[in-house]
């Protein structure tokens, strides 16, 4: 039997070994995610101050103090959430309808029906003021 004839057997063995390695990594790799950031807090506007109160009551348990992130949710003071990539409407949509995991490995964000639209707009103002203070500005999203 030539090497060419044995090649399919080797390919199957290699594929199986690779699959076992990936499964082993997923089972035994550390699962704690730490994506928190240091956040400078500016003097907040009146609307952002109301947003901070609503954020602390509804969002901070996952997104962290001052939107800095936790092991349960990503930091919102992060360039991924700049207004050119995630508009204010995206925050509204995510809060009202939930959002599938797409940037971070935290899982899906469930809807937050207890948060009113008025609270959401104040929360967005709070997050935007935090972002501006921390150098996160509009960047046109190119896809």
Q: What CA–CA distance (Å, rounded) separates 18 from 31?
A: 21
Dump pLDDT digits (tens) for 100-120: 998 899 999 999 999 999 999
pLDDT for 141 equals 77
Q: Looking at the structure, do residues 50 and 25 belong to the same domain, yes or no?
A: no
Q: What CA–CA distance (Å, rounded) separates 79 from 21?
A: 34
In a domain, 78, yes or no: yes
Q: CB of 115 within 8 A of CB of 54?
A: yes
Q: Looking at the structure, do residues 4 and 64 belong to the same domain, yes or no?
A: no
In a domain, 91, yes or no: yes
Q: CB of 92 within 8 A of CB of 117?
A: yes
Q: Which residues contact 94 (CB under 8 A, 6 or more apart)?
A: 109
The CATH number covering residue 71 comes to: 1.10.760.10
Q: Looking at the structure, do residues 8 and 56 belong to the same domain, yes or no?
A: no
Dump pLDDT digits (tens) for 44-95: 999 999 999 999 999 999 999 999 999 999 999 999 999 999 999 999 999 9
CA 74 to chain centre: 4
Given a cut of 60, whether residue 136 has pLDDT beyond it is yes
Domain extent for 5: 1-30
pLDDT for 30 equals 45
Average pLDDT of the chain is 85
């Amino acid at each position: 039997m030539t090497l060419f004839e044995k090649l399919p057997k080797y390919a199957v063995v290699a594929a199986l070994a690779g699959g076992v390695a990936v499964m082993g990594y997923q089972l035994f790799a550390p699962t704690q995610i730490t994506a928190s950031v240091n956040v400078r807090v500016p003097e907040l506007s009146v609307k952002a101050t109301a947003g901070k109160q609503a954020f602390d009551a509804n969002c901070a348990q996952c997104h962290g103090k001052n939107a800095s992130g936790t092991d349960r949710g990503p930091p919102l003071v992060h360039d991924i959430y700049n207004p050119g990539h995630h508009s204010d409407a995206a925050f509204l949509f995510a809060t009202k309808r939930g959002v599938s995991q797409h940037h971070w490995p935290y899982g899906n964000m469930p809807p937050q029906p207890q948060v009113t639209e008025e609270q959401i707009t104040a929360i967005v103002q709070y997050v935007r003021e935090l972002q501006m203070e921390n150098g996160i500005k509009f960047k046109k999203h190119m896809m």
